[in-house]
A and B are shown apart, each in its own frame.
Chain A
Amino acid sequence: MSKQLLSTQALTKTYIMGDIHVHALRGIDLSIDEGEFIAIMGASGSGKTTFMNLIGCLDKPSSGTYLLDKIPVHEMSDDELTLIRNQKIGYVFQSFYLLPRTTAKENVELPLLYCRHCNLHQRHEKALHALSIVGIAERAKHFPNQLSGGQQQRVAIARAIVNDPMFLLADEPTGNLDTRTSVEVMAIFQALHKQGKTILLVTHENDIAQYAERQITFRDGRIISDKKNPNPRQAADDLLKLPQLAEED
C-alpha cells in the first residue's frame, strides 16, 4: 500500500455574504495517496474549486481537518501556509497566470525566488531543467505574449514542478486550450505521473477526466462519487490519432 499524502475530515467552507451563508463545502472526507492521478469533477458551483483552494492552501477551511503529509494544515498560520505553497504544492491554472513582460525562464524561477536556500546558479539550472521536462527549453527567453496558449501552459507546468513539490494541483488546465493542445498538456501530466508525481486535476470535461486513474465527482458541496478508472486513456496514443497541425511558432 502506498503512503498517504493528504486526508481531509468533515472539511467545510462557508462564505458569508451579508445575511446569506453560502455553504460551498458541506463536509468532505477524502484520502489521497502518493502517486495518484485524480480528476476532480463537477458542474460549476459544485464546490470543486473551493475544495481545490483548500487543498492548495490558498484558503482556510471553516471547519474540519486537513492533514498534508500528516501535518495539520488547518491549524497553520499565514506564514506557514506560504511556506507550504512554496515547497510542497505546484499550481497550474486555467488561464496560465504567467507574469507579463517576464521571460518564460524568469516565470519558472518565480517559486525559487521566494525559497531561502536557492542560489542564482541553482535557480538557473532548475528552471532550465523544468522547461526541458515540458519540452519548451528553447523558448526560455520568450515573453508570454510571444508564446501560444499551449506553450504558455507548458511554462506554467514547468513553474509548478520547478520546486519538486509533493503534488501538482491543476485547475481546469485545458479550459482555455483547443483539443489537440489539451491532449498535449494531458500527455505532459501523464508523463509526470509516470515519473511518480501526484496530480490533482480539477475539470468539468469528461474527456479530460478519462486520462486520470481516479475520478471524484462533486455536487452541491459534497462528494457524490469516487471511483477508480482502471484503464485511463493514454494521451500519447491519442495524439497520434489526432491530425497533425501546422507547427507552432
Chain B
Amino acid sequence: MSILGIVRIAFKSLLRNKTRTFLTMLGIIIGVAAVITMLAIGKGAQKIVEDQVNSMGTNVIMVTTNFSQSASNVRQAAGTGNLLEVADVEAIHDQVKNILYASPVYNTYGQLKFEGANWRTGIMGVDVDYFYIRDMKVSDGDLFHASDVESGAKVCVIGKTVADNLFNGVDPVDKIIRIRNIPFTVKGVLEAKGQNVMGMDQDDTVIAPYTTVFTRLLGQHWRNMMVLVSAQSKEAIPMVQQDILDLLQSRHRGTTSDEFAVRTQTDLAEAANSVSKTMTILLASIAGISLLVGGIGIMNIMLVSVTERIKEIGIRRAVGAGKRDVLLQFIIEAVSISIMGGILGIGLGFGAAEVVGNAMKWSVAVTPWSVFLSVGFSMAIGIFFGWYPASKAANLNLIDALRYE
C-alpha cells in the first residue's frame, strides 16, 4: 500500500489517543524548546561580547610591556618595565607601515571634585589619536585638540557615569573640576559606550591630554604606559603586529620579544567568546539530554502501545497488512509524534527566548540552524526510538497476535 495510506492510518491511531499522544510529545516539545532557547541565549551573549569588542574601535592593536627582568633575573610584575616611552609611540607612528593612528595611554586613578560632590574614577592620559582609534564622540561640548596636547593644557573630557555622579543635572561643559586637587576644564561629555568585554564601565572615566596627565598628575613616574594603534585594515593587522615588535626590540637593546605584548581586539574577543561558547555548549548539552529523555519517552509509549495493540496488529495482518506496512505504521507514528513535538517545541522555544530576552534586556537571537538542528534531531529520535517497537510489532507471530487476549 502507499506511504500516504500508511500515514493516514498512523495519524488515525494517534488521534484515537489524543492525551497519550500529547503527553508523549511533551518530552520532545520541552527538549526542542530548551535547545532552541539555550542556543538563542548563547547567541545573545555572543552578540553582546561582539558589540563590546567592537566598541573598542576597529582594527585596534594594543602594545603593552609584559614584565621586566632585572640583571639578576628577578622578574617583576607585568607593566613594571617602564620600557615604553613617548618616543616609542612617535617611532611607531612614523615608521610602521599600514597604521592610521597611534596614541600613548597612561592609566591612573584619582579623586574628582566638583563643588560639594566627589567621585573616584580612572584617569586616562591620551593623545587625540585615541579618540579616532576608539571612535569616540562627544554627546555634549567638544573633544580636546592637538594643541591642548602640545601645550599640556588642563582640559579633559568625561564619561557619562562621571557626569551623572559629579554634576547631578548641571551641564558639565566648561565647568572646572579638580582632579587630585588640580583644576581641569571639562571640554565635553563622551557618548555612552556601556560595559567593555571585561565587564567594566567604559563611561566611568576621565580623559585628558597625556602630556598634562604625565606632568601634572604622574610626575616623574611612568606607569602602565600602553600604546594603542589602529591598523589600516583587518588584513594588515598581523604584519603591523610583527613590525611593531621588531621596531620596539631594535629600539630597546637587550630586550627579548617576550617583554612586549602586542595584542589585538580579536585576541580579546576570542578570550571572551570562548567563555560564552563554553556556556552555550553546556546549556545546549543539558537541553540535548532532555531531548534524549523525550526520545526514550517515545520509545516507552510506543512499546506500551505495541503491547496494547497486539490484537489490532493481528487483525491488520490477517486482512492483508504486510510486515512492512505494520513497521512503517509504527515508525510513522513515532516520527509524527517527534516531528509535531519538534514543531510545537520550536514555537515554545521562540516564545521562551523572547521572554528571556525581554527579562534580561538581551538581544536574544534564534538562529535558523538551531531550528534545523532540533527538527532534524527530533526526527532522528523518532526513527531511532520508534524502530525497536515498530520491528517488534511487525515481527509478531500472526496467529499469536490474533489470538492474544
Contact = CB atoms under 8 A, between A and B. Distances in A.
Given A82-B317, A82-B320, A113 B5 contact: yes
Given A59-B398, A82-B320, A97-B315, 14 more contacts: A82-B317, A85-B317, A91-B318, A93-B402, A99-B312, A99-B315, A102-B12, A106-B12, A110-B315, A110-B319, A114-B5, A114-B316, A114-B321, A116-B1
Interface in B302-334: 311-312, 314-325
Contacts of A116: 1-2
Contact of B320 (A59, A83, A101): A83
Contact of B321 (A53, A82, A87, A93): A82
Nearest to B323: A78
B399 A86 contact: no
A72 to B, nearest CB: 20
Given A59-B398, A114-B1, A82 B316 contact: no
A225 to B, nearest CB: 27
Given A97-B311, A97-B402, A116-B2, A111 B323 contact: no
Contacts of A98: 315
A22 to B, nearest CB: 14
A113 B9 contact: yes
Nearest to B312: A99
B361 interface: no
Contacts of B399: 53, 58-59
Contacts of A99: 312, 315
Nearest to A110: B319
9 contacts: A58-B398, A59-B399, A82-B320, A83-B320, A93-B402, A97-B315, A110-B315, A113-B1, A113-B8
Contacts of A91: 318-319
Contacts of B8: 113
B16 A85 contact: no
A8 B320 CA distance: 23
A68 B33 CA distance: 57
A163 B318 CA distance: 13
Interface of B: 1-2, 5, 8-9, 12, 16, 311-312, 314-325, 398-399, 402
A93 B314 CA distance: 12
Given A78-B323, A79-B322, A110 B398 contact: no
B1 A85 contact: no
B320 A114 contact: yes
A224 to B, nearest CB: 24
Contact of A85 (B12, B318, B324): B318
A90 B322 CA distance: 16
B315 A85 contact: no
Contacts of A71: none
Interface string A107-137: 0001101111000000000000000000000
Binding site secondary structure of chain B? helix
B398 A114 contact: no
A148 to B, nearest CB: 20
Interface string A34-71: 00000000000000000001001011000000000000
B399 to A, nearest CB: 5
B11 to A, nearest CB: 13
Interface in A152-188: 159, 163
A101 B318 CA distance: 19
B312 A159 contact: no
Nearest to B322: A82
Contacts of A83: 320
Contacts of B320: 82-83, 85-87, 111, 114-115, 163
B325 to A, nearest CB: 6
A161 B88 CA distance: 101
Contact of A159 (B5, B16, B317, B319): B319
Contacts of A159: 319
Interface in A181-203: none
Nearest to A159: B319
Contacts of A106: 12
Contacts of B5: 113-114
Contacts of B317: 82, 85
Nearest to B15: A101
Given A97-B311, A101-B16, A114 B325 contact: yes
A78 B322 CA distance: 8
B402 A85 contact: no
A172 to B, nearest CB: 12
Interface centre among A58, A82, A115 (most CB of B within 10 A): A82
A85 B402 CA distance: 14
Interface centre among B317, B318, B402 (most CB of A within 10 A): B318
A21 to B, nearest CB: 18
B316 A110 contact: yes
Contacts of B9: 113
A85 B315 CA distance: 11
A102 B13 CA distance: 9
Contacts of A114: 1, 5, 316, 319-322, 325
Contacts of A82: 317, 320-323
